[in-house]
Structure 1
Amino acid sequence: MTFANPAALWAFLSIFPLIALYFFKVRPQKKSTSALFLWNQIFEEKKQNGLFKNLRDLISLLILLLAFAAIILAMAKPTINWDDQTQNLVIIIDNSASMANLEEGKSRLDLAKARAENIVKSLSSSQTALITSISDSLQINVDSTSNRRSLLKGIDGIAQSQAPLKSQELSAITKNKGIIPNSRFIFISDSCFQGYQETAELELLKIGSKTSNIGITAFDIRPIPGKQNQLGIFFQVFSSYEQRQELELHLAQGEADQIVKIIPITIEPGLNAAKVLYLKDSRYGAWFLKLLVSDSLASDNIAYAQVDPPSPVRIQLDLDKNEAFFQRCVDSFHSAGQVMKAVNQSPEIIISSNGKNTGVNKIIFAPKGKSPFWEGDASPLESATPRVLLADHPAIKFCPLDTLDFEGAQKISAPENSIILVESTDHTPLLYKTTVDNTTAFVINMDPAKAQLYFNIYFPVMIYSLSYDLIGRDTLKKSNYLTGEILNISSPQKLIGPKGPKDTINNLAKLNEAGFYSITSDKKEEQIAVSLNNKFESRIFNTLSQSTVKAIDSSFPISDALMILALVLICSEAMLYHRRKLG
């Protein structure tokens, strides 16, 4: 037996004053009486009952001593360790999207919390528990403690998340189990997440049974490049039903009840093949895809998407010759998908043949003379055999530049802060990216006409890739994000979610709710869509996962038993004292 609070045992020293106090007798007060014979009978009776009286007093003393000892031992918190090792618990509760699945009127999260509460109630007084919840990230709800009230309150405070569970978080727990030694890690989950095998090092307490659910696992909608007033719609669904289902999908725009198209669909068991539809419509803004079904998980029955009007990269041409080839290249991208647009004012990028720094990002062909974007006076380079250094760089990964002829290259040097993508065999930079006074430029060290670049199939690809890399824009803006994703928000911007303003930490915001978000600033307001769209969370029941949790020892706490014993003894002594008073 061990004691969690051994200092309380010093209270046993107070037993000696208690015994002394018990035997302390008050000197009787003398009173005069007129007749002694009236007291003789009473004296005789007291002599006959003296032995019983002394025995009764001794029993009362023993009862008080036992009650006092029980209270002191309870304060010391004794524990019997049969295996000489006390194992504390780390309880991890899955509160991801699939845990909202309803079973007999209760969510799986409620069932998991109930199981966790039962475990906490069975803890011995010397055991501690740490309560955590996990979905897209790990949250510590209650630090390691033996206080049951705090543990139960922490479990009750775990809220349902709309984000899927990230197995990387479980991997981190597994790798760092040694931080909390002598502990058992109990994971309470339905195992409906990608990478559920990561629970192998944890004791899995599986929640949930096989139920029926159909969910939208993918949704995308975009304008068709080169075709006006036409949208492409992509979606995919998953079904845990054992039979084929005939249902309807409602496509709505603007508001969830403004139906644009009703899509009849036959859904097979399991993950269905993706479908692509085309719709004659040119409306931008919010789009909804709703699955008309009453099943166990509601959050995957609707998906959201945002279609924004095209925002082409504004490009200005500043060339000495052959400007028509570049003009045709930009116009082709504009007519195909409105991803580029030739402008004369307020450009985002200038395609130029001079090295002047005008404060606008540039793509410079055929460098000549002096420029802040290169060092040395440009002079003809005798041999310009290319050698690609960074083939995976976004600006060139789709262009096999080692097959191009860098005819007309000049003998120049790149500034120290440059990223050299292609160089010649004598280490002369042929294509590099550099920044001067907050202006970034790509320098292509070749004469496009001499190198016959205009007639090469990769000419427009190069212009497109270099332009989008310069402005830091994705080639295609997402029509929707997934719950749990992290969004980068610049400091002047504010993010407002479906339930109100969202906090940002280091300009990062977590998209933890499905619906539409607004990104506002002084200049403009932008809207993005967020959906669950996760086939693992929609699966509802993972047949490949089994509970691995071992039996959890439970016993009535010894401290509580000692306190109950003390109360019983004190009540017994009170009854004896009452009988003595009544004679």
Structure 2
Amino acid sequence: MSFASPDKLIWLLAALPIIAFYILKTRLRRRSVATLLFWDQVFEQKRQRSLWQNLRHWISLLLQLVFVTLLGLAIADPLWNSQEDSGQDLILVVDNSASMQAVDPASGKTRLRQAIDRASDVAGTLRSGDNIALITAGASVRVVVGMSDFAPTVQEALLEIQPTDGPTRIDEAIAAARRLAADDKKRRIVVFSDGGVPDRDLLSGGPSSSSELSADDAESETPDVPPDWFSGDDVRWIQVGASVDNLAITTFQVRRSTVDPIGYSLLVEVRNFSSDPVETRLTLQLDDAMVDVIPLEIEAEGAFRKQIDGTSRGGGVLTGTLKTEDVFPVDDVARAILPDRPEIPVKLVTGDASESYYLRRVLESIPLVRIVDSDASARLTVFAGTVPETVPEGPLLLVDVPESGPVVGPGNQPAWRLGRRVEQPIIAKQDKQSPLLRHVQLQNVILSGGRDLEVNEALGAPTTLLETAGGDRVCVSIERSEGRILLLASDLDSSDLPLRIAFPVLMTNAMNWFFRETGEIRPAIATGQSSDVLWDVAEESPSQTARLIAPSGERSLVTVQRGKVKLGPLAQTGVYRLASEEDAEAAFAETAASIAGDDANLVAVNLSDANESDLRLPELPETTAGELPPAGRSPWFYLILLAAGLVITEWALYQRRVVA
């Protein structure tokens, strides 16, 4: 043990006056008395004192000297052996990933609560000249407290740490800690975790569980070693929790059925992280309606995988729930979003010179489209070989446009102008980013009857989709608040376009585009993962920002670019909702039932991480990092307590008797 302030040991010289006062003897005063008879008897009894009475004087001196010594040592600020290096930078890394929510059956505390308690004890050992910082390693790495010399700030911040449902990012947190304290001689990183890190088999020297090893690594005979971020003289791990068995939903993804046009196909995987077989049930619900109950019998260390086909035109939130009672409920529930597939009534208006046979057949082949005659019941109006007298409200599809459009705007200008008829118009350029041309390849296709389309911006914001080698715009989409418009200047009866597979795909994309639907099932996102989510919003909107509403109600700002929203990493499982800026306040006040009904704006987020669901603690290798100070108080605190105990002892042995 050493001292932070050895110069303060000079206070030990206070023992000299105490010794002097004990050595000096008090000179007795002479007094005349009538007789010595009684005094002789007193002196005779005094000579027969016990050994303790003879030593009490010196024991009192010894206790007081020890008291002064303890106080002097406390003032000099003694250090534990692991604290001898002056000015250390202590960085606490607390794992608040999903697995840290598991409850220890013995103590009833979560692993995160145990980590916080132990981290608070280590923070209490901070001494003068040291710095301390706090980093969390959950779904994302966050520096909670930067380098500071005030330990109570860190201890208060530890109590505010909340668990996340994402995978651990300990490797990134350790890298951030090393950037935070660049001096490797002073830096000490203390990680509080259950050890549930990726490639955990590497930690105990076993075979790697990663399937992404290179061929060179597979052929190498070098034994596995812990990763670089785990080992090091500056890193010490403190493992919390106890190994427990767990059952988890590790995959829950939905896609469109390849057989049923309005059906879906669910891929589900349930894994058993234990050495014993289990029996349970998987319940599937679509909103509040029961879909299926699947009995499961999973062998030890085994998994259940199945593809389930179903049909749902109404859409909603598909939820899978395991009927099990374990210490980790986060991975017992998984969700997926099924978009609503409403029927689309379409009114087809044809010109006198065109029967639009191919167009009618293609529209009738789309499962959700129904040809109607009434304007009132139609959600979409299609004009083939003719144009309306005025531009009606609602979505419009105009094919084989024969002439310029009706007048619009204050100047009564035509909505669009048609150029000359192009001979052999070959498509040379197409907008590959447009959702209208998704899975459509029309380059080098001849569009008979093609003519250049010049759209008046008073009608809306135009976008050229198909352009010929001569620069003629033969297909244009128009954004407007009253409804989207699609113009195709091609004679379908004389063109080979209807005979190509691209044409029905184009029409199907158009049905989804008109009503701002992708037509595809939005995949569920794993926590801690970033993803681009399709979300079609009006491009004429002055703001390209939106709000993401978490299951907890917390709102965050996201950016919308070309119908895509960048999300992640998301730290909470459940159903998120996308809302435009003007709808954000109303969306925040809506109930969960009304939010679930708007499935076009919903995003499902699941844990889907087998590493986090495996709650068995790995065996950590030996570390070369230095020992930590004993958790709790610094040495001077215990010296003060011992000195106070000596004062009480000295009073009980000597002063109390004198007073009595």
1:344 aligns with 2:375: yes
The alpha-carbon deviation at position 467 of structure 1 amounts to 3.6
The alpha-carbon deviation at position 402 of structure 1 amounts to 0.9
**2:572 corresponding residue in structure 1:** 512
Q: Which runs of 5+ in 1 are unaligned?
A: 24-32, 42-54
In the alignment, the residues of structure 2 paired with residue 187 and residue 421 of structure 1 have an alpha-carbon distance, to the nearest angstrom, of 56
Distance verdict in 2 for CA 1:362–1:130, change over 3 Å: farther
**Among 417, 429, 435, the residue aligned to 1:394:** 435
1:237 aligns with 2:273: no
Secondary structure in 2 aligned to 1:391? coil
1:465 aligns with 2:503: no
**Among 398, 403, 407, the residue aligned to 2:448:** 407
**1:275 corresponding residue in structure 2:** 306
1:331 aligns with 2:391: no
The alpha-carbon deviation at position 399 of structure 1 amounts to 0.9
* 1:349-396 superposed Cα distances (whole Å, 9 cap, x missing partner): 554465975454444444543688987652223453322354354332
In the alignment, the residues of structure 1 paired with residue 444 and residue 428 of structure 2 have an alpha-carbon distance, to the nearest angstrom, of 10
Distance verdict in 2 for CA 1:147–1:313, change over 3 Å: farther
Matches within 5 A, 1:465-504: 465-478=509-522, 497=551, 502-504=553-555
The alpha-carbon deviation at position 462 of structure 1 amounts to 0.5
Contact 2:141 2:172 survives alignment (8 Å) = no
The alpha-carbon deviation at position 540 of structure 1 amounts to 0.5
**Among 614, 624, 634, the residue aligned to 1:540:** 614
Q: Partner amino acid for 1:331?
A: E
In the alignment, the residues of structure 1 paired with residue 227 and residue 463 of structure 2 have an alpha-carbon distance, to the nearest angstrom, of 43
Q: Partner amino acid for 2:404?
A: G
1:554 aligns with 2:585: no
Contact 2:195 2:620 survives alignment (8 Å) = no
* 1:474-522 superposed Cα distances (whole Å, 9 cap, x missing partner): 213459676678999999999795xxx7132337996835489998769
Q: Partner amino acid for 2:627?
A: D
**2:138 corresponding residue in structure 1:** 135
In the alignment, the residues of structure 2 paired with residue 379 and residue 121 of structure 1 have an alpha-carbon distance, to the nearest angstrom, of 83
The alpha-carbon deviation at position 329 of structure 1 amounts to 2.6
Segment of structure 1 superposing worse, 184-193 or 142-151: 142-151
The alpha-carbon deviation at position 105 of structure 1 amounts to 3.9
The alpha-carbon deviation at position 443 of structure 1 amounts to 4.0
**Among 404, 407, 417, the residue aligned to 1:369:** 404
Matches within 5 A, 1:192-341: 200-201=228-229, 203=235, 211-219=244-252, 234-242=267-275, 247-251=280-284, 261-268=292-299, 272=303, 274-277=305-308, 288-293=319-324, 297-304=328-335, 310-312=341-343, 315-320=346-351, 321-333=354-366, 336=367, 338=368
* 1:180-239 superposed Cα distances (whole Å, 9 cap, x missing partner): 544526262442669999985355655566654332233467997986998865432222
In the alignment, the residues of structure 1 paired with residue 313 and residue 416 of structure 2 have an alpha-carbon distance, to the nearest angstrom, of 50
**2:43 corresponding residue in structure 1:** none
The alpha-carbon deviation at position 435 of structure 1 amounts to 3.8
Secondary structure in 1 aligned to 2:428? strand
Secondary structure in 2 aligned to 1:462? helix
**2:95 corresponding residue in structure 1:** 93
In the alignment, the residues of structure 2 paired with residue 381 and residue 332 of structure 1 have an alpha-carbon distance, to the nearest angstrom, of 30
1:114 aligns with 2:117: no
Segment of structure 1 superposing worse, 280-289 or 321-330: 280-289
In the alignment, the residues of structure 1 paired with residue 293 and residue 526 of structure 2 have an alpha-carbon distance, to the nearest angstrom, of 24
Contact 2:166 2:571 survives alignment (8 Å) = no
In the alignment, the residues of structure 2 paired with residue 190 and residue 272 of structure 1 have an alpha-carbon distance, to the nearest angstrom, of 23
Secondary structure in 2 aligned to 1:379? strand
**1:26 corresponding residue in structure 2:** none
Contact 1:316 1:350 survives alignment (8 Å) = yes
**1:27 corresponding residue in structure 2:** none
In the alignment, the residues of structure 2 paired with residue 570 and residue 78 of structure 1 have an alpha-carbon distance, to the nearest angstrom, of 25
In the alignment, the residues of structure 1 paired with residue 63 and residue 610 of structure 2 have an alpha-carbon distance, to the nearest angstrom, of 68
* 1:234-267 superposed Cα distances (whole Å, 9 cap, x missing partner): 4322223456655544445676xx8665434443
In the alignment, the residues of structure 2 paired with residue 540 and residue 512 of structure 1 have an alpha-carbon distance, to the nearest angstrom, of 18
Q: Which runs of 5+ in 2 are unaligned?
A: 22-29, 40-57, 201-208, 211-225, 409-413, 538-544, 559-566, 578-586
In the alignment, the residues of structure 2 paired with residue 489 and residue 545 of structure 1 have an alpha-carbon distance, to the nearest angstrom, of 49
1:188 aligns with 2:223: no
**2:494 corresponding residue in structure 1:** 450
**1:28 corresponding residue in structure 2:** none
Q: Partner amino acid for 2:610?
A: F
Q: Partner amino acid for 1:525?
A: S
Secondary structure in 1 aligned to 2:504? helix
Secondary structure in 1 aligned to 2:95? strand
TM-score (norm 2): 0.61
The alpha-carbon deviation at position 300 of structure 1 amounts to 3.1
In the alignment, the residues of structure 1 paired with residue 547 and residue 89 of structure 2 have an alpha-carbon distance, to the nearest angstrom, of 49
Contact 1:511 1:530 survives alignment (8 Å) = no
In the alignment, the residues of structure 2 paired with residue 396 and residue 538 of structure 1 have an alpha-carbon distance, to the nearest angstrom, of 40
Contact 2:548 2:557 survives alignment (8 Å) = no
Contact 1:495 1:520 survives alignment (8 Å) = no
The alpha-carbon deviation at position 130 of structure 1 amounts to 3.5
Contact 1:117 1:152 survives alignment (8 Å) = no
The alpha-carbon deviation at position 86 of structure 1 amounts to 0.9
**Among 464, 470, 488, the residue aligned to 1:426:** 470
In the alignment, the residues of structure 1 paired with residue 118 and residue 316 of structure 2 have an alpha-carbon distance, to the nearest angstrom, of 49
Q: Partner amino acid for 2:138?
A: S
Distance verdict in 2 for CA 1:313–1:543, change over 3 Å: farther
**Among 515, 521, 525, the residue aligned to 2:594:** 525
Percentage of pairs with the same residue: 13
Secondary structure in 2 aligned to 1:89? strand
* 1:406-425 superposed Cα distances (whole Å, 9 cap, x missing partner): 33222455789755444322
In the alignment, the residues of structure 2 paired with residue 480 and residue 341 of structure 1 have an alpha-carbon distance, to the nearest angstrom, of 34
Segment of structure 1 superposing worse, 276-285 or 423-432: 276-285
Secondary structure in 2 aligned to 1:215? strand
Secondary structure in 2 aligned to 1:395? helix
Contact 1:389 1:422 survives alignment (8 Å) = yes
Secondary structure in 1 aligned to 2:114? helix
Q: Partner amino acid for 1:174?
A: A
The alpha-carbon deviation at position 526 of structure 1 amounts to 3.9
Segment of structure 1 superposing worse, 563-572 or 82-91: 563-572
Distance verdict in 2 for CA 1:56–1:563, change over 3 Å: closer
Q: Partner amino acid for 1:276?
A: Q
1:125 aligns with 2:126: yes
Segment of structure 1 superposing worse, 323-332 or 373-382: 373-382
In the alignment, the residues of structure 2 paired with residue 478 and residue 142 of structure 1 have an alpha-carbon distance, to the nearest angstrom, of 38
Number of residue pairs the alignment of both structures matches = 549
In the alignment, the residues of structure 2 paired with residue 173 and residue 349 of structure 1 have an alpha-carbon distance, to the nearest angstrom, of 57
The alpha-carbon deviation at position 137 of structure 1 amounts to 3.8
Q: Partner amino acid for 2:93?
A: I
In the alignment, the residues of structure 2 paired with residue 216 and residue 68 of structure 1 have an alpha-carbon distance, to the nearest angstrom, of 61
In the alignment, the residues of structure 1 paired with residue 522 and residue 481 of structure 2 have an alpha-carbon distance, to the nearest angstrom, of 32
